[in-house]
Structure 1
Amino acid sequence: MTPARPLSVPDPSSVPGSSGAVGGGVVAARPHTRASLATQLHDLGVRPGGVVLVHAGLRALGFVCGGPQAVALALRDVLGPEGTLVVPTHTSENSDPAGWSNPPVPADWWPVIRAETPGFDPAVTPSRFMGTLAETVRGWPGARRSDHPHVSFAALGPAAEEVVAGHPLADMLGPGSPLGRLYELDADVLLLGVDHGCNTSLHLAEYRQAAPPRQRVGAAVRTRDGGRDWAWWEDVAVDSADFPRLGADLEATGAVRIGPVGDGTGRLMRQRAAVDFAVDWLARNRRTEEEA
């Protein structure tokens, strides 16, 4: 079930071995490991001591000894003890059922869903459609998670609390959100086995448009006394439909480093460069499309 306006979400693959010895298809020369992935990530340009937001579809990486745990360890090896790993832990099904389209639900279900969906709890509510790496990092000892019922982020490392603290309800992916904090920290964005359609940071550029469209958003939230309630708020109506085209134009500028990670492709970019480019790109292209 998805909101009426699509967020950027990666392929929800959960088997990191589709091209390895157990997943069928072409068998790699040898299994990928924590060490081999770390070497590739270093060569791609992941910065030791930096902050990196990772979107991953692990199926594309092929067979990895240890699966998502090994991928997370490889990322932490390259980042080092001063680096911070960030992942999206969105819960898109915690949204107004009136906007669900994949699949829709009957209108007479809507009041029940709004009344009975458990309030978002960052400690226990699982992410959905974000992939196994995001869930692995979310549950890692010491990980911190933002308290947004719809588009939370989890982080692991020295800057984790700075990234996730105080995530505003009505600024889901805007300057006050973890995306805005990442921009301030001059973070990197790493796409592993996914393309720019999953690049959540590009939503920050939508908030920077002159007059972005807005929509009413709802979700189940926790109350101060430990109960639950249904909250409504107004927010920017985000839409990732044209992000693949935006990303292709961004890559044409040379701002994205592209290289192998496992059997798949990694794309690494400075978040500021991607967002700043997207602000201008959206202003030109979306306005042109609407006028057409």
Structure 2
Amino acid sequence: MVHASLSGTGTAPATVRDALIDALGPGGTLVVPAFTPENSDTSRAHRRLIEGLDQRQVREIRATMPPYDPDTTPCTTMGALAECVRTTPGSVRSAHPQTSLAGLGPRAADLLGDHHPHCHLGERSPLARLYEADARVLLLRVGFDVCSALHLAEYRTSPPPPRRTYRCVTEAKGNWIEYEDAVLDDSNFAAVGERLPKGLLVRREWSGRPVVQFRMRPVVDEAVRQLSLHSSGLA
């Protein structure tokens, strides 16, 4: 599973995609986050968009928000590599209307299938399947603050996270769904990354910024321990 920022590298996303696929070999599967916060009126992206607007303007924006279609909805906020993987012929995308993942390779359908529409990134999501598969995570010129794998740890903390209502528009225009799921909070992820045992991480550098690779299982397990121990915050 790869999170990447290619800005400033001068390297085309297709070149990076192909290099990763070559490194994985014929039996490997490449997975990227393909999130779409733009189709939700409960997302941080939407709250930023409507800040300072009156109720009429808010209603107008909500009425024109594009529905989620796994085959066509772009994931541009996830970066150029994620969108490149999503649009590559043969790619597979999970069904969640807000926090889908996309993948290429022989296990993509298995890993990304059965993404329950009421579970962002917990036990009924591809993150749990990736954990079971002992997947590796690559942070390519990005930090732990955007490491989606750590959201699985949130679901596994004790006590469990609070829950809230989410809404998003799917399929036909105006078809909104509403559901409850865990409150996702990535504000502690950078601190979790700083406190991980160094032996769990392989560190390199590319184009002037850090690159980190690690096995998902031990890092998620350690994140569960940290988040449970410091439930009030890691600052």
TM-score by length of 2: 0.91
2:165 corresponds to 1:219: no
Equivalent residue for 2:210? 265
CA separation of 1:164/1:98 partners in 2, compared to 1, >3 Å: closer, same or farther?
closer
- What does the per-residue CA deviation read over 1:195-220, in whole Å, with 9 as the maximum and x for residues that have no partner? 00010000001111223111110001
Question: By how many angstroms is 1:163 displaced?
Answer: 1.4
2:48 corresponds to 1:102: yes
2:87 corresponds to 1:146: no
- Residue among 228, 231, 239 paired with 2:177: 231
Q: Which runs of 5+ in 1 are unaligned?
A: 1-52
Equivalent residue for 2:131? 183
Equivalent residue for 1:124? 72
CA contact (8 A) 2:92 2:102 kept: yes
CA separation of 1:56/1:98 partners in 2, compared to 1, >3 Å: closer, same or farther?
closer
- What does the per-residue CA deviation read over 1:213-244, in whole Å, with 9 as the maximum and x for residues that have no partner? 1111000112xxx6650000001010111111
Equivalent residue for 1:25? none
Distance 1:120 1:98 in 2: 14
2:33 corresponds to 1:84: no
Equivalent residue for 1:193? 141
Equivalent residue for 1:11? none
Question: By how many angstroms is 1:98 displaced?
Answer: 8.0
Which runs of at least 4 in structure 1 moved beyond 4 Å after TM superposition? none
Question: By how many angstroms is 1:256 displaced?
Answer: 0.9
2:38 corresponds to 1:93: yes
SS at match of 1:176: coil
CA contact (8 A) 2:145 2:189 kept: yes
CA separation of 1:147/1:113 partners in 2, compared to 1, >3 Å: closer, same or farther?
farther
CA contact (8 A) 2:38 2:65 kept: no
- Residue among 132, 136, 153 paired with 1:205: 153
CA contact (8 A) 1:119 1:227 kept: yes
Question: By how many angstroms is 1:117 displaced?
Answer: 2.3
CA separation of 1:167/1:98 partners in 2, compared to 1, >3 Å: closer, same or farther?
closer
Distance 1:232 1:108 in 2: 22
- What does the per-residue CA deviation read over 1:37-78, in whole Å, with 9 as the maximum and x for residues that have no partner? xxxxxxxxxxxxxxxx00001126x233xx111100100110
Q: Between Structure 1 and Structure 2, which shows a larger proportion of helix residues?
A: 2
Question: By how many angstroms is 1:113 displaced?
Answer: 3.9
Distance 1:98 1:235 in 2: 13
SS at match of 1:254: helix
| One-letter code aligned to 2:181 | D
Distance 1:98 1:186 in 2: 30
SS at match of 2:225: helix
- What does the per-residue CA deviation read over 1:87-124, in whole Å, with 9 as the maximum and x for residues that have no partner? 00101111115863323343333444444323211111
CA contact (8 A) 1:95 1:150 kept: yes
Percent identical across equivalent pairs? 40
Higher Rg: 1
